[in-house]
Homo-oligomer: A and B are copies of this chain.
């Protein structure tokens, strides 16, 4: 199934990369650059002004980095006006994989970052892109080191619900499966806590992160990838005229 069937693709890594990206952009970061490795992140530090390095390996901050992968570290006072270079185990890789999966010569789908916090706004954005392009949209669950992650499926179900609220949606096999998954779900916090990665985060003391990541449709910010940088929608954060 070639990716040029899709007008847009939403990358979902609820715990925690895409939640962190949405939070950083919402709090005024100039943008977030998803990179694959710490080495690539270090290279950015000298290449541009106002750069902060963020990310994790094994859910912990990378040595020498300014920030970890906790969205709670990405407050306005820390990130406003800064360019964040982010490398995480799963989420930032997922952006790259979608780009690489696009055929040569194909225009890749527009890439956005989705999480529970911007689930409804992401759905509305996807709906509008799909309608404008007359093509479908793709929900990319980042998973955990190649394995299925229940929290990403749960979030995909939330985005699907938002799409269905916009109008009639034809579902592929995977979308139908996450829709059923969502239909039998408990509350967001319970769902996130009862996953493999959620349990790991709780064991490491990240209760507040899990609670923050579980807040659903509280943000209107839909970061999209433009020239390799996840940026706010046009007009977001601009001074009022």
Which residues of A come within 8 Å of B, CB atoms?
Answer: 1, 145, 147-150, 153, 172-174, 176-178, 180-181, 183-184, 195-196
Contact = CB atoms under 8 A, between A and B. Distances in A.
A169 to B, nearest CB: 15
Contacts of A150: 173-174, 176-177
Quick one: copies of this chain in the complex?
A: 2
A160 B174 CA distance: 19
Contact of A173 (B1, B174, B195): B195
A102 to B, nearest CB: 14
Contacts of A1: 145, 147
Nearest to A185: B180
A180 B180 CA distance: 7
A213 to B, nearest CB: 16
A155 to B, nearest CB: 13
A161 to B, nearest CB: 15
A121 to B, nearest CB: 25
B180 A196 contact: no
A176 B195 CA distance: 9
A196 B177 contact: no
A184 B178 CA distance: 12
A208 to B, nearest CB: 22
Contacts of A184: 180, 183-184
A177 B1 CA distance: 24
Contact of A148 (B145, B173, B180): B173
B181 A177 contact: yes
27 contacts: A1-B145, A1-B147, A147-B172, A147-B173, A147-B174, A148-B172, A148-B173, A148-B174, A148-B177, A149-B173, A150-B173, A150-B174, A150-B177, A153-B173, A153-B177, A172-B196, A173-B195, A173-B196, A177-B177, A177-B178, A177-B181, A180-B180, A180-B181, A180-B184, A181-B181, A183-B184, A184-B184
A149 B173 CA distance: 6
A233 to B, nearest CB: 30
Nearest to A182: B180
A1 B172 CA distance: 28
A234 to B, nearest CB: 33
